Amino acid sequence: QKEVEQNSGPLSVPEGAIASLNCTYSDRVSQSFFWYRQYSGKSPELIMSIYSNGDKEDGRFTAQLNKASQYVSLLIRDSQPSDSATYLCAFRGGSNYKLTFGKGTLLTVNP
């Protein structure tokens, strides 16, 4: 069974710090990886997608993928209070386009 493990948190960081969110997955044939942000009471919104080993940067966000270790992470630089949310990692394995989601990590950025 495909699984995604995330530290549920809460993870608390001061404003301006780097927040590091981690995720491990069990399916070795996973092809695509995603980070979503979900504010309380809202639906998830896509932050990053990553398909190849290494780092991918988009503004203050950097996703890191290591397929050999089955590990994906998200770094948020210069964290802002508005980054406070639950961060969901997800991966797709197989051909049916279904995503498997982790339970999410609650991040709190303190002013």
Partner 1 sequence: GAVVSQHPSRVICKSGTSVKIECRSLDFQATTMFWYRQFPKKSLMLMATSNEGSKATYEQGVEKDKFLINHASLTLSTLTVTSAHPEDSSFYICSARDSFTGMDTQYFGPGTRLTVL
Residues that bind partner 1 (CB under 8 A): 31-32, 34, 36, 42-46, 49, 88, 92, 96-99, 101-104
Nearest by Cα to 74 from 7, 15, 3, 1: 7
Nearer to partner 1, 77 or 98 (CB): 98
Nearer to partner 1, 17 or 61 (CB): 61
- Rounded to the nearest whole angstrom, what is the least distance from the CB of residue 17 to partner 1 in the complex? 25
- Rounded to the nearest whole angstrom, what is the least distance from the CB of residue 1 to partner 1 in the complex? 11
Nearer to partner 1, 7 or 17 (CB): 7
As a whole number of angstroms, the distance between CA 3 and CA 93 comes to 11
For 12-44, give one letter per residue: b (16+ CB within 10 A) or e: ebeeeeebebbbbbebeebeebbbbbeeeeeeb
- Rounded to the nearest whole angstrom, what is the least distance from the CB of residue 2 to partner 1 in the complex? 12
Residue 69 tokens, joined: 């270790």
